[in-house]
Amino acid sequence: MSETITIKSMAEWQAEGKSPEVLFWVGCAGSFDDRAKRITRSITTILHHAGISFGVLGTEEACTGDPAKRAGNEFLFQMMAMTNISVLNGYNIKKIVTGCPHCFNTLKNEYPGLGGNYEVLHHTEFIKNLLDEGRIKIEGGDFKGKKIVFHDPCYLGRGNGIYEAPRKVIEVLDADLTELKRSREKGLCCGAGGAQMFKEAEPGNKEVNIERSEEILAENPAVVATGCPFCMTMMTDGVKHFNKESEVKVLDVAELLVNSLKK
Amino acid sequence: MGIPNLIFVVVFLAACILFWRNASKISRNIKLGMPLDRSDRKGERWRLMTLVAFGQKKMFSRPWPALLHFFVYAGFVIINIEVAEIVIDGIFGTHRVLSVAGGLYPLMLASFEVLAFLVTAGCVIFLIRRNITKVKRLVMKELDGWPKTDANLILIMEISLMTAFFFMNAADRSLFISGHPHYNVDIGFMPVSGYLAGFFSGWESSQLVFLERFCWWFHIIGILAFLNYLVVSKHLHIILAFPNVFFSRLEPKGKFDNLESVTGEVKLMLDPTLTPPPAPETPLKFGARDATDLSWKQLLDAYTCTECGRCTSECPANITGKKLSPRKIMMDTRDRIDEIGKNLDKGKKPGEDGKALLNDYISPEELWACTSCNACVQACPVNIDPLSIIMDLRRYLVMEQSAAPNEINLMLTNIENNHVPWQFSPADRLNWAQEK
């Protein structure tokens, strides 16, 4: 993507006396993790391509508090939530797109009880809507006929019942979408949820991401698609563990789509 | 009314009273839980109960065990009509009182026999799965001892009850054919007992009467004993599955409750000009340490659990050899609330025994292995939520005891100071927009 996209913060939008269609909630992984930043840029490319005006909070964005809550620190979670809510309400935000199922779940389900009421969409849902409305079109692309498996992120799938949106986006690419044995309601976690991302696993006989990677690699896919920066880390590590990184790519649904956008 | 009828009435009443007393204790134990409002969205709750409890929808994600389980379930529900007949006959000394239904009666009885046969076959296969082919989730460590015996006893009792039912009908049929004056109802050739009747062709009338009476008493006393066995067994799910599904959490699974007790404190922290509310009489406790800190629904979950292990077999932590087993979380919760109940009966207050659910039953190692992925919640056929208990215990560890693993504490400190769970500067948050 050679085109430069200007990323405007909500403060800049406000200074111009305007407001964008949506707020893009980037999330911590999407802001700081090098691999996840590429997903973030793919999402902005899609938004730009579809002509969606969007803003980000930039330095005013703070962790939603999700990992604190799942780790059991409700105090810290609610402090983060209330701080974020006062920023969001200050900009009169109505609609949010997130690049992370954990941010998505927290903003959508846990903020309303603390005074933050927004229409919240995960980026795979948002992209699916753009495709449905014809605001983005697909042409060619590298994934035609390629075997793609989708790893359901827990907080998107079981957590919020969103199974179809990411699959619909993959299907549009004319790819060979193959279901894993453990998929949808029965999807196996990548091992990072519930604040596990930030600690070593408890003693056991295997890492969860290795268990999942074995299942995925048994299918011999060209691509493992996912929709979560934590799943991205875990699956990438898993594929590397088996030295399969040159044959099997791990990509976010947004990255898959960017490749096939009609110029 | 003869002496047998009197004995029957006494036994029947005693069994019912005993059941009522023990069931009341369980109900009292459940009410030891914290309050929680689940009285909303009644229509949705009835629908859910019909589909998930009555229709066993979630069982069918594993079709073969589901089908066998459905036979046992349907058999037990429908054969209760037969039990009603036995109770009436028992009290009034009548014989096969429901035969007033005329031509419908043999048809009804035949369908009971078919069902009873399916129940027996189901239970035999279940015994094989537990003891011979050893299906993994049915032979795991947490089932050693009583839980394993409990499961086998239930299956053996069910097979015995059904066998008694068949032999009772077989003896009855032979007596009718021999022209015995009391056994005057022609049940016809029944699909199972019809074949058994052949064995008794040489038997004396008195021997047949003895066999018939023995099976009749065995059947009804067995059922009354089974009723009273429920309250000390995992088998209580046949009753509690219904209210447990009715009172399910209807929110998206990813949504965790926001602790109200915390909200007040956080509001005060963020805005010191607010007037603090009067201090509560009992100091606030954040999270759960003992079973009585859990909600009544979490305790109902524990009594409903029939230890099938679908949760544990889908748990990513358990699959990869970690100590956590969602089924054990439920079994521990039930054992602990039962223990608290027994202490109460002895006049001891909850907690007076110096024990608690946390540490004495469930270790932090188990709690920290959870990825909060909701696989256990999804897998449970009766909508039990082990994850909520894990979270409440974690909350106690972190908020009351500051007992999180070091890496977790580091992550929490980062969120607090940098507003990001890693050690990055919040000023760099928008750097991605400048990078390629």
What ipTM was assigned to the predicted interfaces of this complex? 0.96
φ and ψ at residue A245, rounded to 5 degrees: -65, -20
Is A194 found in the same domain as A94?
A: no
Arithmetic mean of pLDDT, B80-88: 88
DSSP state of A59: G
Mean pLDDT of chain A: 95
Q: How confident is the model at residue A3 (pLDDT cuts 50, 70, 90)?
A: low
Strand order in the sheet with A223-226: A176-178, A147-150, A223-226, A249-252
The number of domains in chain A is 2
Distance CA B339, CA B351 (A): 10
Predicted TM-score of the model (pTM): 0.95
Residue spans per domain, chain B: 3-31+62-246, 260-278+288-403, 405-436
Is A55 found in the same domain as A158?
A: no
The partner residue sitting opposite A206, judged by closest CB among B321, B378, B429, is B321
Q: Tell whether B403 lies on the interface with A, counting CB pairs under 8 A.
A: no
The answer, yes or no, to whether residue B1 has pLDDT greater than 70, is no
Residue A132's SS3 state is helix
- Indicate whether A1 belongs to any domain: no
- Nearest chain A residue to B320, by CA: A206
Is A16 found in the same domain as A68?
A: yes
Q: Name the residue type at position B66.
A: A
- Indicate whether A2 belongs to any domain: no
- Indicate whether A120 belongs to any domain: yes
Strand order in the sheet with A22-25: A54-55, A22-25, A95-98, A119-122
Identify the domain boundary among A129, A152, A169: A129
Is A158 found in the same domain as A221?
A: yes
- Indicate whether A84 belongs to any domain: yes
The answer, yes or no, to whether residue B194 has pLDDT greater than 60, is yes
Identify the domain boundary among A90, A111, A129: A129
Q: Tell whether B322 lies on the interface with A, counting CB pairs under 8 A.
A: yes
Contacting residues of A for B314, CB less than 8 Å apart: 186
pLDDT given at position A263: 67
Q: Domain range holding A113?
A: 10-129
Give the mutation candidate from A26, A35, A63 for the B interface (greatest B CB count, under 10 A): A63
Mean pLDDT of chain B: 93
Inter-chain contact A7–B430, Cβ cutoff 8 Å?
yes
B401–chain A nearest CA distance, Å: 11
Q: pLDDT tens for residues B402-431?
A: 999 999 999 999 999 999 999 999 999 999
Q: Are A63 and A28 in contact (CB under 8 A)?
A: yes
Q: How confident is the model at residue B57 (pLDDT cuts 50, 70, 90)?
A: very high
Maximal CA-CA distance, chain A = 58
Give the mutation candidate from A189, A200, A230, A235 for the B interface (greatest B CB count, under 10 A): A189
Closest C-alpha among A251, A224, A6, B432 to residue A260: A251
Residues near A228 by beta carbon (within 8 Å), at least 6 away in sequence? A100, A101, A102, A153, A155, A156, A190
The answer, yes or no, to whether residue B340 has pLDDT greater than 90, is yes
Q: How confident is the model at residue A153 (pLDDT cuts 50, 70, 90)?
A: very high
Which of A42-46, A204-208, B77-81, B370-374 has the weakest average pLDDT?
B77-81
| CATH of span B260-278+288-403 | 1.10.1060.10
pLDDT given at position B76: 85
Q: pLDDT tens for residues B99-158?
A: 888 889 999 999 999 999 999 999 999 999 999 999 999 999 999 999 999 999 999 999
Contacting residues of B for A54, CB less than 8 Å apart: none
Inter-chain contact A207–B394, Cβ cutoff 8 Å?
no
Q: How confident is the model at residue B38 (pLDDT cuts 50, 70, 90)?
A: very high
The answer, yes or no, to whether residue A1 has pLDDT greater than 60, is no
Q: Tell whether B271 lies on the interface with A, counting CB pairs under 8 A.
A: no
Give the mutation candidate from A47, A54, A73 for the B interface (greatest B CB count, under 10 A): A73
> What CATH number does the domain containing A146 carry?
3.40.50
Q: Name the residue type at position A131.
A: L
pLDDT given at position A142: 84
- Nearest chain B residue to A195, by CA: B371
The answer, yes or no, to whether residue A9 has pLDDT greater than 60, is yes
Arithmetic mean of pLDDT, B205-225: 93
Q: Tell whether A11 lies on the interface with B, counting CB pairs under 8 A.
A: no
Inter-chain contact B420–A196, Cβ cutoff 8 Å?
no
- Indicate whether A3 belongs to any domain: no
| CATH of span B3-31+62-246 | 1.20.950
Distance CA B138, CA B182 (A): 47
A125-151 burial by CB neighbour count: b if 16+ within 10 A, else e? bbbbebbeeeebebeebebeebebbbb
pLDDT given at position A121: 98
